[in-house]
Copies of this chain bind each other. A is one copy, B any other.
Amino acid sequence: MRYELYYWPIIQGRGEFVRLALEAAGADYVDVARGNDDAGTGMPAMFELLNGETVERPSFAPPFLKAGRLLIGQTANILQYLGPRHRLAPTGEPGRLWVHQLQLTLCDVVDEVHDSHHPIASGLYYEDQRREAKKRTADFLDQRAPKYLGHFERVLARNPSGDQHLAGARLSYADLSLFQVVDGLRYAFPRAMKRLEKKLPRVAALHARVSERPRVRAYLESERRIAFNEDGIFRRYKELDAG
Contacts and interface: CB of A to CB of B under 8 A. Distances in A.
Contacts of A108: 60, 111
B104 A123 contact: no
Interface in A143-173: 143-144, 147-148, 151, 154-155, 158, 160
Contact of A72 (B97, B115, B136, B155): B97
Given A70-B94, A73-B101, 20 more contacts: A55-B158, A57-B98, A59-B101, A60-B105, A60-B148, A70-B97, A74-B100, A74-B105, A77-B97, A77-B100, A77-B104, A80-B100, A81-B97, A115-B119, A119-B119, A119-B120, A120-B139, A122-B144, A123-B143, A132-B132
Give the interface size bracket for A toward B. Answer: 35 or more
A195 B158 CA distance: 50
Contacts of A115: 115, 119
Nearest to A69: B94
Nearest to A72: B97
The listed residue with most B CB atoms (<10 A of its CB), out of A73, A80, A104, A120, is: A120
Contacts of A147: 60
Interface string A32-56: 0000000000000000000000011
A58 interface: yes
Contacts of A73: 101, 105
A104 B76 contact: yes
Q: Could you tell me the dominant secondary structure of chain A's interface residues?
A: helix
A29 to B, nearest CB: 18
Nearest to A100: B77
Nearest to A132: B132
Nearest to A155: B58
Interface string A93-114: 0100110110011001001000
Contact of A101 (B74, B105, B121): B74
